[in-house]
Amino acid sequence: MQSLLVTIKLEDTFTINEEDEQEAEELYYKLWEDDRL
């Protein structure tokens, strides 16, 4: 559930288009890993 909220927050923060989608996913996973530490 927390991951879903983070995803929604990221989508609100960044305007994600198809070209940036890969970069956005990498950023999301990086932030998620940092949050777990």
Q: Are 7 and 32 in contact (CB under 8 A)?
A: no
Residue-wise pLDDT for 4-13, tens only, equals 777 767 666 6
| 37 residues of the chain, pLDDT tens digit each | 567 777 767 666 665 566 677 787 888 888 888 876 6
**CA distances for 19 relative to 16, 35, 36, angstroms:** 8, 26, 28
Provide the whole-model pTM: 0.36
